[in-house]
Amino acid sequence: MATLEIRDLRVTVEADNATKEILKGVDLTVKQGETHAIMGPNGSGKSTLAYSLAGHPKYTVTGGTVTLDGEDVLAMSVDERARAGLFLAMQYPVEVPGVSVSNFLRTSATAVRGEAPKLRTWVKEVKEAMERLNMDPAFAERNVNEGFSGGEKKRHEILQLELLKPRVAILDETDSGLDVDALRVVSEGVNRVRETGEVGTLLITHYTRILRYIKPDYVHVFSGGRIVESGGAELADKLENEGYEAYAKHDVVDTKGGASA
């Protein structure tokens, strides 16, 4: 069973000629088959957590550990983390001029699987996945994210998720910029992957609307660079009704639902 364990993770970033601590001791365990929602206001450190796990060079880990099945994630390069089974769906997917979606996907699958997928079965696999996401087959020949709408970019992220079959999927505000129809299609894609029971999901979001489609096992409130409360799906309803203001002064981590002090 794949398990991502984060212990006392502390991360800084350079900004305005100063070093600022963003993550101030994050503790979280995500097991295979579980879905954890991370919720919190802007600036609380949610996206910093996602990018630090993926190995973004902008962020410096100053303390703590991150392991995947006991292997030291922080010692891995970005590509090694991806091959180990960590997947990040970005809040703002970048454009990659000159690289077609089809080439990008097959190259990614080759890197993750250790060998190139057989072309005939791969074309069928991609076509079926695109159909499930209501994506025009013509997108396969377009450059990665170039000229894509926000919804198209997010569908492409979930297309990667379905094809690459990671062990842990980190979804950073996948719902941002999506209309109702796109949100439903994207959520259905995430749920298809979850239903295999083979992936642990870390879903980062501001709002509860995506949680109407993707039901989390655990909800964690992020504030001030740490988890300040954890609970079940009912905690999302509480946040919807009461907002985040009550958590602004919290500095103690609740130990329920996979978080620990």
CA 127 to chain centre: 24
Q: Can you give the pLDDT at residue 92?
A: 86
Q: For the segment 86-105, what is each residue's pLDDT rounded down to a tens digit?
A: 999 988 888 899 999 999 99
- CATH code of the domain in which 66 resides: 3.40.50.300
Residues spanned by the domain of 182: 3-258
Residues of the chain with pLDDT > 90, as a percent, come to 72
Token match 């609740």: residue?
A: 254
85: pLDDT strictly greater than 70: yes
Overall average pLDDT of the 7-20 stretch: 92
70: pLDDT strictly greater than 50: yes
Q: For the segment 237-251, what is each residue's pLDDT rounded down to a tens digit?
A: 888 888 888 777 654
Q: Which of 118, 121, 178 shows the shortest CA–CA distance to 148?
A: 178
Q: Can you give the pLDDT at residue 104?
A: 95
Q: Can you give the pLDDT at residue 58?
A: 92
- CB atoms inside a 10 Å sphere around CB 75: 10
Instruction: State if pTM tops 0.85.
Output: yes
CB-based contacts of 220, cutoff 8 Å, min separation 6: 28, 36, 37, 38, 39, 227, 229, 230, 257, 258, 259
Number of compact structural domains in the chain:
1
Helix ranges, 44-197 (H): 46-54, 78-84, 101-113, 119-132, 150-164, 180-194
